Structure 1
Amino acid sequence: MAEVREFALPDLGEGLASAEVVRWFVDVGDVITIDQPVAEVETAKALVEVPCPYAGVVTSLAGPAGTAVPVGAALITVAVGDQQGAPVPARAEAGPGNILVGYGVRAEPPRPRRRRLGGAAIPAPRPEAAPAAPTRPAGAHPSTRPASSPGPRSGLTGAPAGRGGAVGGVPTGSGMPVSSAGPVRQAGADGTAVAVVSPLVRRLARDHGVDLRALPGSGPNGLIMRRDVEAVIDGSVVEGVAPDHVGGGGGDLGGEFEPFDAPRRRAAEVFTRSRREVPDATCWVDADATALLAAKNALNAGGAEPRIGLLAILARVCVAALLRAPALNSSVVTDAAGRAVGVRQHDAVHLGFAAQTPRGLAVPVVRDAQDLTTARLAAEITDLTGTARAGRLSPAQLTGGTFTLNNYGVFGVDGATPIIHHPQTAMLGVGRIVSRPWVVDGALAVRSVVQLSFTFDHRVCDGATAGEFLRFVADAVEDPTALLRHL
């Protein structure tokens, strides 16, 4: 008799709460092998193929393409064993295969024994079980389970083998479904049921006095997500009022509603958190970039490959400046309540740079930039930009940055006050380079001028440190040869 195992969606990157299924590579009844990709999911502007660490027959999927699956919820369930219900191979019995680096598969808690009542198999009662939710009609897609819900996993159409029909030769559950119609619910203090949410979301709501019972959830089947609580805290959503009725005169405003896809939701969460938590400040300066353009042309003279662009030279300048001001290559450390308790300075410079893609803004990361030459920096930036535009950046290429370089001059603007990419503490912005009148040696001349802006977290440094950093960058732009002293 085959054993049904659940593979939960792993954490695909820092701080990610969910991923959206773009397409399935398998269907219920398919036989899969260890480490076979079963789905392509989208998160943080990246498409990732997720392999399953179990071999056997697929008994259920989290939902159709387009379903948002919370991290820790069931992505797929597999009846482990061959099609005749043979014993599980030794490798599969010993544990999962070589799943993606950094992913983990939780040890499954013991499942309660099932008893028969009126000819149908039902789970034995558990003392701590939440009130039962309505059963799902036969044939409906299973729901996903919040990461924090206790006891046996909900939302599975494939029960332990041994009763009812069979899928791909492997016995499955009987005629009574064990999946619920929505997220597992937990009774409030007054007996009102609310969608079960993660401990982090419950604590966030408690700390800010948000009543979860009056809050509509935006997650699968009404699950209350962190973004829902944050929207109430920020005032963009009113408790107990559907989003379509917020704003204006409080009535239905009409128009077409376009929900955020996974990348835009993730970006919105990062931007909102940065704006809410970071006391940022911005300083800026105009610099004569005439010599910088000349240096770029000299580096590319003779058709040398790879070509070195301005962004790569500015990346080299940023690295040199950060090595002189390590306080800006850091992140703020918070306690369990979210209070800032200190600053961690990072040994390596993992340089993120903003890249516009068909899927929106992405911030790929060049790791250990302090160890790369300008030519290597240029090659890395070119490769990552191409991967970003193809929508194929991996979570590792999108996370772990310690500082961001933002070249918004490509959009034809002179300056900006960008939002710091949380949990980083600083960002350098570069505007367009334009011809302007400039005083050179006491005489007026036409020069190529660029505006540089520097946004920083005021918790990690004061204006003096920020000013010294920006002045160093501006001096290197005006005289790139002076940078050789610091390389």
Structure 2
Amino acid sequence: MADFCMPSLGADMTSGLLVAWRVEAGDKVEHGQIIAEIETAKGLFEVEVFEDGVVEQLLIEPGEDQIPVGTPLAKIVADGDVVTKPDAAAEPEGRQKVSPVARRRAAELGVDLTQLKGSGADGVIQLADVEAVAGAAESPAKAAPTARKITPSAEGMRQAIAAAMSRSNSEIPHYYLATEIDMSRAQQFLAEQNKQRSIKERLLPVVLPLKAVAVALQKVPQLNGYYVDGQLQQREQVNIGFTVSLRNGGLLTPALQGVEQMSIDQLMAALNDLIGRTRAGKLRGSELTSAGITVTSLGDLGVQSVFGVIYPPQVALIGLGKIVERAWAENGALSARPVLSATLAADHRASDGLLGAKFLDAFGRALQQPEAL
């Protein structure tokens, strides 16, 4: 048996609100299946289960707030094991099946349980059934409740981000490196590619650096990791966190997963999808927790250099600035070239300046061969 616990959806999260279950006791679940919706200071997220099995018991009712990270929310057993549904077991045969919290609420509201029909598995009366009847009794003409829409405040999100960055500054021994990269070949490649595409299908300039990060991480894997209980863990898959600004203010950094396996077109499609779902509040929990490194790009706002703060428990962050035309000397000749300023913030516990320099070198070299990305 395994517990499905309140997940940590970021270094700033200590507790959350269980908004809804997507499963009931007795349901079979598979690895990666969404089974719950959790609200944090940063918004509403769909949360997956990471094992196959059967839901034996839901331990927490939706609506309970400030549930600490790590608190068991449900019990899951291996498929094939006998599952005794707790609500059914608590009632003698032939009697109504009522969840404990629904029974307590019915007593508080004076609701006659014998008049209810349960909406849960095997007709179990749930909290929602009791409150629906009580609400109808108080106001028969009252309209059905609308779906809950979570809109986190910009202030609350900034506080959450500040908490994570404060932890980062206090716990992570940062070191910084910077380099300048000639983007002539990369820009020419993009121009040629976009001539053949519709406006909707065009490649954005950031897609090549994102793919180049994946190439460099395969050569310097020490920067593709995270800390668990003080121990450095390496990620085999390249999951790159990408900072997305939200329309109501604030930032989220969900992960593009498996970037090393994507073509440029696949990566562009994945990026568009991720940005759209981030701003629509439709992210999965794993997309907030699976990144091994983060890329933040502020070049479109005119910023020339970005010196970022590592997002725990990751061990590195890449900052991309604006591509500007500068004098560039090569083979004894001076010419104007489009130049990108790229910075690396890295955790000295996981790597050192030599490894960081090798990473930036591999990153720059990859951008000199855009057709190979």
Class of the TM-score when normalised by the shorter of the 2 chains: 0.5 to 0.7
CA contact (8 A) 1:286 1:452 kept: yes
CA distance in 2, matches of 1:354, 1:471: 23
1:343 matched to 2:343? The reply is: no
Match of 1:323 in 2: 218
1:47 matched to 2:56? The reply is: no
CA distance in 2, matches of 1:318, 1:290: 18
Match of 1:276 in 2: 170
CA positional deviation for 1:282 = 0.5
1:352 matched to 2:241? The reply is: yes
CA contact (8 A) 2:305 2:320 kept: yes
Match of 1:452 in 2: 342
Cα 1:319–1:54 change in 2 (3 A) is closer
Matches within 5 A, 1:81-480: 86-88=95-97, 160=104, 166-167=110-111, 169=113, 260-261=155-156, 263-303=157-197, 306-334=201-229, 340=230, 342-358=231-247, 359-477=249-367, 479-480=368-369
CA distance in 2, matches of 1:33, 1:324: 42
CA contact (8 A) 2:296 2:318 kept: yes
Match of 1:146 in 2: none
Residue 453 of structure 1 aligns with an amino acid whose one-letter code is: T
Matches within 5 A, 1:63-74: 68-71=66-69
CA contact (8 A) 1:80 1:88 kept: yes
Cα 1:357–1:436 change in 2 (3 A) is same
CA positional deviation for 1:440 = 4.1
Cα 1:349–1:50 change in 2 (3 A) is closer
- Kindly, what percent of the aligned residue pairs are identical? 26
What's the Cα RMSD here?
A: 4.3
CA distance in 2, matches of 1:265, 1:420: 17
Cα distance per residue 1:113-165 (max 9 Å; x no partner):
xxxxxxxxxxxxxxxxxxxxxxxxxxxxxxxxxxxxxxxxxxx8x77489676
CA contact (8 A) 2:228 2:313 kept: no
CA contact (8 A) 1:332 1:460 kept: no
- Runs of 5+ in structure 1 lacking a partner? 1-7, 27-31, 93-107, 109-155, 172-257, 335-339
CA positional deviation for 1:396 = 1.9
Per the normalisation by structure 2, the TM-score is: 0.67
CA distance in 2, matches of 1:168, 1:297: 71
CA distance in 2, matches of 1:159, 1:401: 43
CA distance in 1, matches of 2:62, 2:240: 41
CA contact (8 A) 1:33 1:54 kept: no
Match of 1:18 in 2: 15
CA distance in 2, matches of 1:50, 1:470: 35
CA positional deviation for 1:394 = 2.0
CA contact (8 A) 1:456 1:466 kept: yes
Cα 1:308–1:44 change in 2 (3 A) is farther
Residue 242 of structure 2 aligns with an amino acid whose one-letter code is: F
- Runs of 5+ in structure 2 lacking a partner? 26-33, 49-54, 74-85, 116-152
Cα 1:164–1:470 change in 2 (3 A) is closer
CA distance in 2, matches of 1:302, 1:386: 24
CA distance in 2, matches of 1:13, 1:59: 20
Residue 207 of structure 2 aligns with an amino acid whose one-letter code is: A
Per the normalisation by structure 1, the TM-score is: 0.52
Match of 1:192 in 2: none
Cα 1:400–1:455 change in 2 (3 A) is same
